[in-house]
Structure 1
Amino acid sequence: MTEAERRIIAAQGYVELGLYEEAREELSPLTAALHDRVDVIEIALLCFMGRQRWAEALELALKLCEQEPVEPGGYIHAAFCLHELGKTAEAVDMLSRGPVALRTKPVYYYNMGCYHASLGHFEQSLAYLERAFEMDGDLRLHAKKDRDLDALRARLEAQHA
């Protein structure tokens, strides 16, 4: 294993532990070419997201979308960052324009439900959320405490009481 590989693996571990500064420190000595690798971009992106540095995270998420246009991860992250930056309509647009593979992910439907709820599009939100819950029932637990869904809380609970 090379030193660079060790650093990338260590940074991944730090991210999983929520130790974002330590992860960034592991990545900092890597060459510019290594910083352009998808796995390194994703680690750095997760570090920015973990520290709620949404603008920097968005920049890296868009880079992922550019480098891997058929992969859903960059689009999901970019849309989330846009939403956190108060650009929820742009987040919906980002996911809507994303690759077909997005529609195989429960998080796509869940996030679309949250974004539409934030925009006041409650019927659309409920339809997206129902699809998300069908795909991954565990998302119901997450929805119970998701602040984006506060306006729909009573309706969600009534649906599944």
Structure 2
Amino acid sequence: MKSPPPEVAALGRRLRRARDDKGFTQRQVAQRLADRLGQAFSQAQIHRIESGAREITVRELQHLADVLEVNGASLIANPGGTEGFDLWVEMKAADTELLECLGRAIQDVTNLAEAVAKLSRALDAHAAADPDVDLSDERERLEHARSVAVGMDAVLNGGRA
């Protein structure tokens, strides 16, 4: 097994120190983090983060900082420098941008679903008005759009359809 990058290992050590300072067990931190994230998070994941075997997402880091009641920048800062703070600011900006993109993507999926429903109603009305018309190409495009919408919705909802 290869060694974790030094910055990942250092972050893990700072997280462990902050957890120890609060007197929390890894299990307690995992449960509190799971509650904040709204998804399962295990003691083993905390152990892997602290040991540098698992990298941490910006979102997880933000919530861990809250759980441990510490400034997130202090967890990633290099002692005596501002690099950690600058990195923290950059990560927060990227995280905000990501959330904005996800918000737009969710709206796009909603718009796509509405367009699919509208096209479906129009095709049904057209088929009812003229039963002899061939709408197979339009129905194929409709089914493709519907599958794209379902797939995008599943991705945006964390893989839950």
TM-score range (shorter-chain normalised) is under 0.3
TM (norm. structure 1) is 0.25
By relative contact order (CA 8 Å, sep 6+), the higher-ranking structure is 2
**Structure number with larger C-alpha Rg:** 2
TM (norm. structure 2) is 0.25
